[in-house]
């Protein structure tokens, strides 16, 4: 079996390789093919994985280590793939800083996936995502594409226009929420122990856990009433325990940006750097140091017990990567917290676990339950309201819900009717994203303007126009896309 990772020079790619190599799931991956357009990043992550493979081999995983290949040629990378993980970042971390700063300069939220920054990210990413989808359809038509690229909902929706139901989006934030609740109830909600059932519904980074039943008994109201329990749930601490009690549901952590927008903007503005600027410097330092270390042939474990830092002469690419990863995870969404991130909140499994479980279920037929980004209605269906998971949203909208996955595919599970307030938030965001998708597919400046202007965190034609002009000036990809629109 061949797994292709697009954006193979990305910082988190070694986590995926390690998960595949050490999984005791009956899944056999013979080849992991990395693809990236940046040769330095590709070589660096290849060196990290080679060091990781040495460690895994020493720990007894040699028999399950996939062969590693790397290429800058998309056709070569995708040809013959059984699964394609798409984790591209068009423009790199530097482009993310433009997304953030243009919005912040207008007094708006500057964040990677939420608000106007997320729309700008999507606008320059969708043309590349469509190119990927067309290549997969041509040279690997039976492959499943698992989209990691943010904003996952709109990017997955674009890929579905070519690949239909074989394009699925994943995000680790909903499963992290479910795991935290499961720990409090002492039950594996993901595996469905003790007849556990959950109701989670939303769009990517805009969703709610509305029901948790165990052995037939509804347990969520009891958790919401318990201050001590809510203190153990990161999402409740972020948005406010009194709010989640009043709302009657546990939100995805990204609801912080919708419910506390002014606070989020103030915290980001007060910081010396945005998250994008922090990552651009951190990753720039890492790739430079790791490339130098790879050139010296440092051992995989060099400096591991000596506390070698990123500037150490004896640290290996693998050790440098591990140190940088720890800092990256510990500072995730730092602007939303008044304290350092708790270790139990970090240990959630991440994208790599969700992707591995999804791939294993599809390849082996072993049934799994997971929250995924999928079509509101099956591709190729009539799109009638009776076929939709959320009848009041368009059939082609990508929603985030619990799914059953097996050898026959991905099967979204029914949800209870969506309350008016939540439905309104979902519809408003989806309408703005739909205009951005139209702009990305047609080159229409007018559609792009409408998308920025109508986003619920903008709601201003004048600001929408300023955002559009700022992103055209800051992103050559967007400027080229909209040049004739």
What whole-number distance in Å separates Cα of residue 216 and Cα of residue 371? 21
Residue 149: closest CA among 132, 133, 169: 169
| Range 342-362 average pLDDT | 72
What whole-number distance in Å separates Cα of residue 405 and Cα of residue 365? 8
Which run of H or E residues covers position 128? helix 116-139
| Range 109-129 average pLDDT | 97
Q: What is the pLDDT of residue 339?
A: 52
pLDDT (tens digit per residue) in 5-17: 999 999 999 999 9
Residue 323: closest CA among 274, 290, 353: 290
Binned at pLDDT 50, 70 and 90, residue 454 comes out as very high
Binding-site positions for substrate = 96, 150
Catalytic residue among 254, 257, 258, 351: 254
Residue 156 three-state SS: helix
Q: What is the pLDDT of residue 338?
A: 54
Binned at pLDDT 50, 70 and 90, residue 333 comes out as low
Asked if 100 contacts 161 with a C-beta cutoff of 8 angstroms, the reply is no
Q: What is the pLDDT of residue 341?
A: 41
What whole-number distance in Å separates Cα of residue 448 and Cα of residue 450? 5
Looking at the DSSP assignment, which residues form a beta bridge with residue 85? 5, 146
**What percentage of the chain exceeds 70 in pLDDT?**
92
172 is catalytic: yes
Report CA Rg, the chain: 22
Q: What is the pLDDT of residue 353?
A: 87
> For the purposes of burial, counting CB atoms within 10 Å of the CB of 241, is it exposed (0-12), middle (13-18) or buried (19 or more)?
middle
Averaged pLDDT score across all residues of the chain: 92
pLDDT (tens digit per residue) in 187-240: 999 877 788 999 999 999 999 999 999 999 999 999 999 999 999 999 999 999
| Range 355-376 average pLDDT | 95
- Which is it for strands 206-214 and 197-203: parallel, antiparallel or unpaired? antiparallel
pLDDT (tens digit per residue) in 414-447: 999 999 999 999 999 999 999 999 999 999 999 9
User: Is the pLDDT assigned to residue 345 strictly greater than 50?
Assistant: no
Alpha-carbon dihedral sign for residues 249, 253, 258, 259: positive
Q: What is the pLDDT of residue 51?
A: 95
Binned at pLDDT 50, 70 and 90, residue 334 comes out as low
Domains and CATH numbers, the chain: 2-169 (3.40.50.720), 174-252 (no CATH), 269-336 (no CATH)
Which run of H or E residues covers position 210? strand 206-214
Q: Which two tokens stand for residue 380?
A: 């190729």
**Residue in this structure with the two tokens 């009433």, named with its chain if needed:** 225
Catalytic residue among 36, 172, 345, 373: 172
User: Is the pLDDT assigned to residue 340 strictly greater than 60?
Assistant: no
Among 67-81, 326-340, 427-441, the minimum mean pLDDT is found in 326-340
- Cis status, amide bond into 178, omega within 30 of 0: no
Binned at pLDDT 50, 70 and 90, residue 346 comes out as very low
CA angle 349, 350, 355 (to 5 degrees): 100
User: Is the pLDDT assigned to residue 335 strictly greater than 80?
Assistant: no
Q: What is the pLDDT of residue 307?
A: 42
**What percentage of the chain exceeds 90 in pLDDT?**
84
Alpha-carbon dihedral sign for residues 400, 401, 402, 403: negative
332 is catalytic: no
Binding-site positions for Mn(2+) = 171, 205
Binding-site positions = 96, 150, 171, 205
Check residues 96 and 307 and name the one with the higher pLDDT: 96
Give buried/exposed letters for 305-342 (b at 16+ CB in 10 A, else e): eeebebebeebbbbbbbbbbeeebbebebebbbeeebe
CB atoms within 10 A of CB 263: 13
């Amino acid at each position: 079996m061949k797994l292709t990772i697009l954006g193979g020079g990305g910082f988190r790619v070694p986590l995926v390789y390690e998960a595949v190599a050490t999984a005791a799931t009956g899944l056999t991956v013979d080849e992991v093919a990395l693809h990236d357009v940046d040769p330095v990043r590709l070589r660096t992550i290849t060196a990290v994985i080679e060091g990781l493979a040495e460690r895994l081999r020493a720990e007894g995983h040699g028999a399950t280590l996939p062969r590693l290949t790397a290429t800058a040629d998309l056709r070569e990378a995708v040809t013959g793939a059984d699964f394609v993980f798409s984790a591209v970042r068009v423009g790199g971390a530097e482009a993310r800083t433009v997304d953030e700063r243009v919005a912040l300069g207008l007094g708006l939220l500057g964040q990677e996936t939420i608000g106007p920054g997320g729309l700008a990210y999507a606008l320059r990413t969708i043309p590349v995502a469509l190119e990927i989808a067309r290549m997969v359809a041509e040279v690997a038509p039976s492959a499943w594409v698992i989209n990691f690229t943010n904003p996952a909902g709109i990017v997955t929706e674009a890929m579905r226009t070519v690949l239909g139901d074989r394009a699925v989006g994943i995000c680790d934030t909903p499963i992290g929420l479910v795991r935290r609740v499961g720990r409090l109830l002492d039950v594996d909600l993901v595996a469905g122990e003790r007849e556990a059932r959950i109701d989670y519904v939303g769009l990517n980074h805009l969703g709610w856990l509305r029901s948790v039943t165990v052995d037939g008994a509804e347990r969520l109201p009891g958790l919401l009433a318990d201050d001590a329990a809510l203190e153990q749930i990161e999402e409740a601490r972020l948005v406010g325990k009194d709010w989640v009690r009043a709302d009657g549901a546990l939100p995805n952590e990204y609801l912080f940006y919708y419910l506390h927008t002014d606070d989020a903007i103030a915290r980001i503005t007060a910081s010396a750097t945005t998250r994008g600027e922090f990552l651009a410097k951190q990753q720039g330092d890492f790739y430079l140091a790791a490339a130098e270390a790879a050139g010296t042939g440092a051992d995989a474990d060099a400096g591991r017990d000596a506390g070698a830092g990123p500037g150490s002469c004896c640290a290996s690419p693998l050790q440098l990567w591990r140190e940088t990863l720890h800092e990256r995870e510990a500072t995730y969404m730092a602007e939303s917290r008044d304290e350092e991130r708790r270790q139990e909140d970090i240990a959630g499994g991440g994208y790599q676990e969700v992707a591995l479980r999804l791939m294993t279920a599809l390849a082996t037929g072993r049934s799994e339950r997971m929250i995924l980004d999928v079509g509101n209605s099956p591709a190729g269906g009539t799109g009638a309201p009776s076929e939709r998971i959320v009848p009041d949203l368009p059939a082609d909208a990508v929603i985030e819900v619990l799914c059953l996955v097996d050898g026959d595919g991905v099967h979204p599970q029914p949800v209870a009717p969506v309350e008016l307030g939540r439905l309104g938030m979902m519809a408003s965001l989806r309408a703005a994203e739909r205009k951005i998708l139209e702009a990305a597919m047609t080159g229409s400046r007018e559609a792009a303007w409408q998308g920025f202007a109508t986003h619920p965190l903008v709601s201003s034609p004048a600001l929408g126009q300023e955002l559009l002009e700022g992103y055209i000036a800051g992103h050559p990809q967007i400027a080229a896309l909209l040049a004739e629109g």
